[in-house]
């Protein structure tokens, strides 16, 4: 991926490395060790991919548009340790000190910012590598020049991986998750419909709307489960679809790595 764009889901990386140090009882020391592990990981990724551009993207502490649409969004997810939350600005300072651009935008999750950057780079034929274990990014693999990498499992994701994993193409993943639900973010799907049923329902379809255009072609059990659920499915799909149109206010040259 030489001369491409390396995109880091910072919280995904930081929280996992911090969790791996749970035996460290000194919180100050634990934060310091987490920062060291992050620097090591990021240096390895830069050496591995040799990007021309890079962005370490942080979540906004403020509520996002998803919380406004659905107050129960991410309800029940384990909160971040207070000490780690307070240390977040210091992580960004350390990363910038090493010459790695960092990005945060009030009211936006890192997911949407990363999706927007990768999508815009793709439009200019610039390859992007998204480093995160979050499977939500796999919907972006429908676009050319975008790939994803799990730093911890050392596994790369592409469109072929998505079809093998889920049974649908990347562009249908939001529709798929709308049916089965997204438990990680507390977004309910259609009761009674699981992964296998969702794949069967979406087979040879291009969207939920095409599914609902004629429910009579499905077995009775699916008709009963799906009946009256289109509006909910469309809402759930909106919630799980990453935005690629965020007005971030920066240009790609501003993310160029200093050699």
The model's pLDDT over 99-134, given as tens digits with 9 standing for 90+, comes to: 999 999 999 999 999 999 999 999 999 999 999 999
What is the per-residue pLDDT across 24-33, written as a single tens digit (0 to 9) for each? 999 999 999 9
Bridge partner list, 103: 57
Are 225 and 208 found together in one domain?
Answer: yes
Of 163, 178, 204, the position where a domain reaches its end is 163
Are 14 and 85 found together in one domain?
Answer: yes
pLDDT at 76: 80
Are 152 and 172 found together in one domain?
Answer: no
Are 106 and 27 found together in one domain?
Answer: yes
Residue 259 has pLDDT above 90, yes or no: no
Q: Is residue 196 part of a domain?
A: yes
Q: Are 183 and 195 in contact (CB under 8 A)?
A: no
Are 103 and 39 found together in one domain?
Answer: yes
DSSP string, the chain: -TTSEEEEEHHHHHHHHHHTTTT---HHHHHHHHHHHHHHHHHHHHHHH--SEEEEE---SS--HHHHH-TTTTTTPPPPPHHHHHHHHHHHHHHHHTT--EE--TT--HHHHHHHHHHHHHHTT--EEEE-S-GGGGGGGGSTTEEEEETTTTEEE-HHHHHHHHSS-GGGHHHHHHHH-BGGGTB---TT--HHHHHHHHTT-SSHHHHHT-GGGS-HHHHHHHTT-HHHHHHHHHHHSPPS-------GGGGBPP-
Are 143 and 185 found together in one domain?
Answer: no
Are 138 and 209 found together in one domain?
Answer: no
Q: Is residue 247 part of a domain?
A: no
CATH of the domain at 213: 1.10.150.20
CATH of the domain at 135: 3.40.50.1010
Q: What percent of the chain has pLDDT over 70?
A: 100
Are 81 and 106 found together in one domain?
Answer: yes
Q: Is residue 198 part of a domain?
A: yes
User: How large is the angle between the packed helices 10-19 and 27-49, nearest 10 degrees?
Assistant: 130
Q: What mean pLDDT, rounded, does the chain reach?
A: 95
Of 136, 163, 190, the position where a domain reaches its end is 163
Q: Which residues constitute the domain of residue 135? A: 5-163
d(CA 252, CA 132): 21
Instruction: Give the pLDDT mean for 155-177.
Output: 97
Confidence at 81, pLDDT banded by 50, 70, 90: confident
């Amino acid at each position: 991926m030489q001369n491409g764009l390396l995109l880091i889901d910072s919280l995904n990386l930081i929280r996992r490395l911090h969790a791996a140090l749970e035996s460290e009882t000194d919180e100050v020391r634990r934060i310091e060790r987490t920062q060291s592990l992050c620097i090591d990981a990021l240096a390895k990724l830069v050496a591995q991919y040799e990007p021309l551009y890079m962005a370490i993207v942080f979540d906004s502490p403020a509520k996002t548009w998803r919380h406004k649409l659905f107050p129960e969004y991410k309800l029940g997810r384990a909160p971040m340790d207070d000490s780690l939350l307070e240390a977040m600005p210091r992580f960004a300072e350390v990363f910038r000190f090493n010459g790695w651009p960092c990005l945060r935008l009030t009211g936006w999750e890192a997911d949407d910012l990363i999706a927007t950057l990768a999508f815009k780079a793709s439009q200019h034929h610039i390859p992007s590598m998204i480093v995160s274990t979050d499977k939500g990014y796999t919907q972006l693999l429908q676009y050319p020049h975008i790939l994803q990498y799990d730093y911890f499992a050392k596994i790369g994701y592409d469109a072929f991986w998505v079809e093998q994993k889920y049974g649908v193409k990347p562009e249908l993943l939001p529709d798929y998750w709308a049916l089965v639900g997204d438990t990680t973010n507390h977004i309910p799907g259609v009761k009674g419909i699981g992964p296998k049923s969702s794949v069967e329902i979406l087979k040879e379809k291009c969207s939920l709307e095409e599914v609902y255009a004629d429910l009579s072609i499905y077995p009775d059990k699916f008709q009963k489960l799906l009946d009256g659920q289109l509006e909910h499915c469309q809402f759930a799909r909106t919630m799980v679809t990453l935005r690629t149109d965020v007005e971030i206010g920066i240009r790609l040259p501003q993310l160029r790595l200093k050699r």
